[in-house]
Amino acid sequence: MIKKISHIGIAVKDLNEAVKFYKEALHLEVEGYEEVKDQKVKIAFIPVGETRIELLESTDPEGPIAKFIAKRGEGIHHVAFEVDGIETALQELKGSGAQLIDEKPRMGAHELKIAFLHPGSTKGALLELCERQKEC
């Protein structure tokens, strides 16, 4: 079911300041930026090998990233696993007792189908499943 870790989402208050650190201190390059309006977030993509870091800044004080930062502070928001057949993966996980945030996949950044699993059933981590629709 799981092919690899696709990305690690990190919630940040200021995308420009976060990007500056990754570029200057870690010598990593930003691959691109994207805004996902329905998720109220701006994202900077930073490749590290086959995995990406996604720096996530809220575009709305009521958005999920803003609420996460208000409650927990900046930091790791989620880990995303790439899968083949996200609908089947969600059915299998639900059948095994996993609590799904998304019963059906929705569109995320990079034109990925995405769905989240509730941290209550994953031992505290917000996990995302994603499936490529095309190479990104």
Report the CATH number at residue 110. 3.10.180.10
CA gap 94, 14 in Å, rounded: 36
String of DSSP letters for 64-114:
HHHHHHHHH-SEEEEEEEEES-HHHHHHHHHHTTPPBS-SS-EE-GGGEEE
Structural domain count, the chain:
1
Looking at residue 1, what is its pLDDT?
85
Looking at residue 134, what is its pLDDT?
58
Domain containing 92 equals 2-132
Mean pLDDT by 10 residues, the chain (136 residues): 95 98 98 95 97 98 97 97 96 96 93 95 95 69
